[in-house]
Amino acid sequence: MRPQPLLVIALLALSVAWAVLVFEMVQSRAARQQEMGTGRLGWREIAWPFPRDGWPAGRAFRCQSATCVQDSEIYLRAKLGFCNCDTGVADDDEVDRVADIDLINPRFAAPAPGRVVRVADLSGRARNYDLESGEGAPHSAIGYALSHRCDLMVAVIKGSAAQPLLEQAAQQFLASHEVQRWMLAALESGK
C-alpha cells in the first residue's frame, strides 16, 4: 500500500515547521545570553526558581566558572512603582523587605548594617546576609535594592563563598554594560 501524496506532503511540511521552531528557540536563547553578556562573564541563565508572587518573575543566572565564584547564583527583577520617589531606598529595613532574600531562605540574618551603593544610573543600598542552612555548610547572600525614579531593581547573589568574593562577583556582573542596559530597559518598560 502506497502512502497518499497529500499525507506525505503534510508530514513533510509539519517536520519542516517543527525544525524551524526548534531552531528559532535555540537561536532566541543564544541571542538572549549574548545580549546579557553572561557567557563571557562565566554566568549561564537559568529558569526563575521562585514561585509566583505579586511581582513578575525576574532573570536568574548561575556561575559556571572560576571567574564568577562557582556555584553562586544571581537573581534580578524590577519592581515597578515600588519605591519612594523622593527618598529612594532609605534604610536597611527596606532592603530586608524588598530584596527577595526571603524567597531564597526565610531564615536569614544580617550580621552588619548595609551600605549605600551605586550601579549605573541606579542608587540604593546593599546588605550582607547569613542564610541558615540545614546542610551544615555556611551560605551567604547579598541583597541590592536600587532605585530609579519611583521604581526598584532588586538583585541578590547567593553562594557558599565568603561574602567579599560574592560581592566582587556581583559588582562585576552588575557593572557589565549588557546587564546595566537590561536593568534600565526593564525599569523603563513600565513608563
pLDDT band at residue 27 using 50, 70 and 90 as cut-offs: low
* Beta strands in the chain, from DSSP E residues, in sequence order: 43-46, 59-63, 73-79, 108-109, 115-119, 122-131, 139-148, 151-159
* pLDDT tens-digit map of 52-80: 998 899 999 999 887 788 889 999 999 99
Contacts of 179 (CB under 8 A, 6+ apart): 36, 37, 76, 173
Res. 168: pLDDT tops 50? yes
Write the DSSP string, 153-187: EEEEEEESS-HHHHHHHHHHHHHSHHHHHHHHHHH
Give residue 12's pLDDT.
58
Q: How far apart are CA 166 and CA 69, in angstroms?
A: 7
3-state SS, residue 46: strand
Report which DSSP code applies to 101: H
Confidence of residue 20 (pLDDT cuts 50, 70, 90): very low
Cα–Cα distance for residue pair 128/31, rounded to 1 Å: 33
